[in-house]
Amino acid sequence: MYAKTSSKVNYSEITAKVIELMEQGILPLGSQWESGSNKMLPFNLATGKMYRGMNILHLWIAEMTKEYSSNGWMTINQMRKIATDDELDEPIRLKTLPENEPGRGNGKTGQKGVQVFHADTFIPKEWKLQQDDVYRSERSGDYSDENGVRRSYLKVVGTVFNLEQIENLPEKYKVFDALEPLEVQQPIITTMTEAYGVPIEVSNDGSCYYLPRLHKIRLVHQRLFKTPADFERVKFHELVHSTGHDTLLNREGVSLCNSKDIEKYAFEELVAELGAAFMCAHFGIPGLMVHAGYLSHYCKVLRKDDRAIFRAAAKAQAAVELLLSHLPKQEESNASTD
């Protein structure tokens, strides 16, 4: 029997893993290979759908630390369902690890799975609906609308296992459409960027940045980048920053780009790094850090708040969905995630 999954998210344990990698100079963003033959975002082997938000980062960390060469995952129940539906002669099962295998977990196979989460919202019991979307706190007596009282939370919804931990899975569940090369993707990215509508100007001062006051992005000329992929990575980073403008997703940190409180601004940089990595993976561009110099500040932010990385991932996912909503219709339908 497999152990029952707890529904509680261990924020401190997951954050500690992220900090440990960052202290080694690593920001765990992106798959660790540069092949365009498969999806670069973690995806479900049974459905083909890509994971979202913190699940992306959590599964990327597992791939990196356990040195998996696949980013395909599935649950025990999905293995059983495929075996039943496809009437397989051999059951789909987890590979059994040797007793002396380092890192062997509990259970008959010794395989350790990775928890996946679902984000949802709730209204605390203290807030009672009065009328016309106005809520009153029974504790403080304050009034607020629904947006002001609704709270977000994560719950564990299952445990998934990597393709490398599974045996007897039919080949059809391992094969997916190859990612198009960057030269094919670039016109699509350009169309998306133009439809999004934030102006991108050539920077003459040798720097790339987003200007919140003018709601513009400035990038050095594309020919000055070593590769087209480098250009797209930096552009995605600044595009994610721009989604935080007060007329769009209204992230507080966007206006702090000139602030002396670098730790506070580091959170916005972390959102931009995560969002850029998610965008790169969506388009099959190997992800590398754009602003590695913020690593020590990221660590300080995470040590003070073990839920900061979860909030950053959620905000990055919201930014990515806003940008991808401007894809041409066919590509937009292909961008749906689960």
Please state the rounded mean pLDDT for residues 141-169: 89
The answer to whether 109 and 101 have CB atoms below 8 angstroms apart is no
Contacts of 108 (CB under 8 A, 6+ apart): 96
pLDDT computed for residue 23 by the predictor:
84
pLDDT computed for residue 253 by the predictor:
85
Task: Tell me how far apart the alpha carbons of residues 195 and 200 are, in angstroms, rounded to a whole number.
Answer: 12
Q: Among 161, 163, 167, 176, which Cα is nearest to 35's?
A: 176
Mean of all residue pLDDT scores within the chain: 86
> With bands split at pLDDT 50, 70 and 90, how would you rate the model's confidence at 166?
very high
pLDDT at 28 over 80: no
Q: Among 180, 172, 189, which Cα is nearest to 231's?
A: 189
> With bands split at pLDDT 50, 70 and 90, how would you rate the model's confidence at 338?
very low
Which residue did the predictor score with more confidence, 144 or 31? 144
pLDDT computed for residue 146 by the predictor:
83
Q: Of all residues in the chain, what percent carry a pLDDT higher than 90?
A: 54
> With bands split at pLDDT 50, 70 and 90, how would you rate the model's confidence at 287?
low
Please state the rounded mean pLDDT for residues 117-139: 89
pLDDT computed for residue 257 by the predictor:
62
Phi, psi of 272 (to 5 degrees): -65, -40
pLDDT computed for residue 336 by the predictor:
41
Please state the rounded mean pLDDT for residues 100-129: 89
pLDDT at 271 over 80: yes
Task: Tell me how far apart the alpha carbons of residues 121 and 108 are, in angstroms, rounded to a whole number.
Answer: 37
Q: Where in the chain are the domains?
A: 11-115+157-173, 182-334
Give the rounded distance of the alpha carbon of 19 from its chain centre: 17
Q: Which of 73-87, 130-144, 187-201, 282-296 has the lowest mean pLDDT?
A: 282-296
In 62-92, which positions are buried (b, 16+ CB within 10 angstroms) versus exposed (e)?
A: bbbeeebebbbbbbbebbeebbeeeeeeeeb
Phi, psi of 44 (to 5 degrees): -90, 125
